[in-house]
Copies of this chain bind each other. A is one copy, B any other.
Amino acid sequence: MLINLDRSSRIPVKEQIRLEIAQRIRSGLLQPGYRLPSVRVLTETLKISLVTAHQVYKALDKEGLTETYRGKGTFVRETASPSGELPALSPYDWQFSIPDSLPRASFWSQSAVRLSPHILDLATASMHSSLLPLELLQASFRQIVDRTPQALGRYAPFAGDEEFCQVLAGYLNKQGIPIKQHQLIVTNGTQQGIDLFARTFLGPGETMAVETPCFSGAIDAFRFTRANLQQIPVDRDGIRLDMLEDLPASIKLKAIYTVPTGQNPTGSVMSLARRRDLLQFAQANNILILEDEPHREIELGRKDLPPPLKALDTTGHVVYLKGFSKFLFPGLRLGCLAADGSILNRLLAAKSITDLGSPLWLQKALIPFFKNPLLPKHIDKLNKALENRRKMVMHTLEQKLDPRISRPKHPAGIYMWLSMPSAINTDQLIPEAHHRGIHFLPGSIFYSGEPATHHLRICWTNLADEDLPAALQILCELLNDSLA
């Protein structure tokens, strides 16, 4: 357990240690029954006083995350992990003496929740197969299997297959994003783009600003580098630029992570004015912007979407991530990133170290898919289907959800972020949710620091048409009941 302390931070060291350990426990990296380092080891490795070490463990005990037995030590409590169903502890006890750099892996722990097949899943962010262009993909794959067997037998260039990059650039150009083929790197989904950026440009002592709440997979990747994260709230126009500008001079921002178009999990869409100002702020301070755009194509009820930051960027400050898993092909793990100059070159070097490039065959197999004139038609059809779903979801929540539970008025994207009164801890609702037959994401995983625990996120695209109403019905009853 490597804990990276920032002694210049305004957060007391004691608090930093407690939070680091709490995050590891909550995300399941430290499993129930695990024995934490002794107070003496903690003082020696972290250079803190005995009193501080005792206070840390006392606070964790009080939080219900650990239990301290006099003379035996402090152990992770059996009930500390939200899933309670993580893989059994290793029989190889010596392995616990091997430290690692993992600060949290909330995404992993959430997905380790093993749902029985009858549970209706409102958590997973994907499209039900009836909404996906599977036939177009099949046709495209068939063509490449038959005609281009040599694509099975060669490595792809590190940046990606040249023809595929050309097709991707064309696809983005049609959306008004003026990106050229040689600016692209093909990645294993957007997550790898986030991770490549993090490991190349972030490290201990450096600071990244993130929206709060924020996509938990991104937080995991940023924290993996041991960089400091600065949480900046989001309002209806996007990330609070005024709060970025007001950061004390001692905090030197290196980068900003944003999902400006359909923010995850709040659905907020950054206004054009905010986009311009944010870019100007980055340019004036030589700050990199990591712009994550997983679902521009499926924004609904907003025909006037402002262009991505990358389309406004003339100075190479924005690294743009484009994902397709959410609405075209979840099973393929292919996305891309666009950047400029030496920032692009360095990300490419990192990609080469990470996995020597993405699979050539999949890239070749998607070329006919992206060229298929039926693809835009599919996206139109998808959007109509999603619009109907969204209306149904909004209507159901309006009808059935207690008005004390707040919901977004004009949610963009495929999520819904619900806020309970602050006394309700949504982590604690999970067992009852499973009991009643649904699953959702508790809000706590969307925070990089001390979590707010009264929110939750649902994704309303994952279930079959016929299952969604029942799932929403159960959700509303559960949340309403919790208020009583």
Contacts and interface: CB of A to CB of B under 8 A. Distances in A.
Contacts of A348: 108
B149 A134 contact: yes
B341 A92 contact: yes
Interface string A305-320: 0000000000110000
A179 to B, nearest CB: 15
29 contacts: A29-B346, A92-B340, A92-B343, A94-B316, A95-B343, A98-B254, A98-B343, A100-B346, A102-B349, A102-B353, A105-B349, A105-B350, A108-B158, A111-B157, A129-B153, A129-B154, A134-B152, A138-B145, A141-B152, A151-B331, A155-B331, A188-B188, A188-B355, A195-B353, A195-B355, A224-B353, A331-B360, A333-B355, A333-B356
Contact of A149 (B137, B157, B325): B137
Given A98-B254, A132-B153, 15 more contacts: A91-B341, A92-B315, A92-B340, A92-B343, A96-B342, A97-B286, A101-B199, A105-B350, A137-B149, A141-B141, A154-B330, A191-B353, A191-B356, A333-B355, A333-B359
Contact of A330 (B155, B203, B353, B362): B155
A153 B329 contact: yes
A329 B217 CA distance: 30
Contacts of A153: 127, 129, 132, 134, 329-331
A92 B342 contact: yes
Contacts of A248: none
A150 interface: yes
Given A149-B137, A286-B94, A331-B359, A2 B349 contact: no
Contacts of A145: 138, 141-142, 145
A141 B365 CA distance: 11
B341 A90 contact: yes
A288 interface: yes
A55 B356 CA distance: 36
A23 to B, nearest CB: 12
Interface of A: 2, 29, 87, 89-92, 94-102, 105, 107-108, 111, 124, 126-127, 129, 132, 134-135, 137-138, 141-142, 145-146, 149-158, 187-189, 191-192, 195, 199-203, 217, 220-221, 224-225, 254, 286, 288, 315-316, 325, 329-334, 340-346, 348-350, 352-362
A155 B142 contact: no
For the residues of A in contact with B, the DSSP-based class is helix
Closest A-B pairs by Cβ, 7 of them: A90-B341, A108-B352, A105-B349, A92-B316, A92-B341, A331-B360, A188-B355
A211 B187 CA distance: 31
Tell which of A126, A134, A154, A361 has the most Cβ of chain B within 10 Å: A361
A367 to B, nearest CB: 14
A156 to B, nearest CB: 7
Given A342-B95, A349-B29, A357 B329 contact: no
B329 A152 contact: yes
Given A90-B342, A95-B341, A359 B362 contact: yes
Contacts of A356: 107, 189, 191, 217, 333
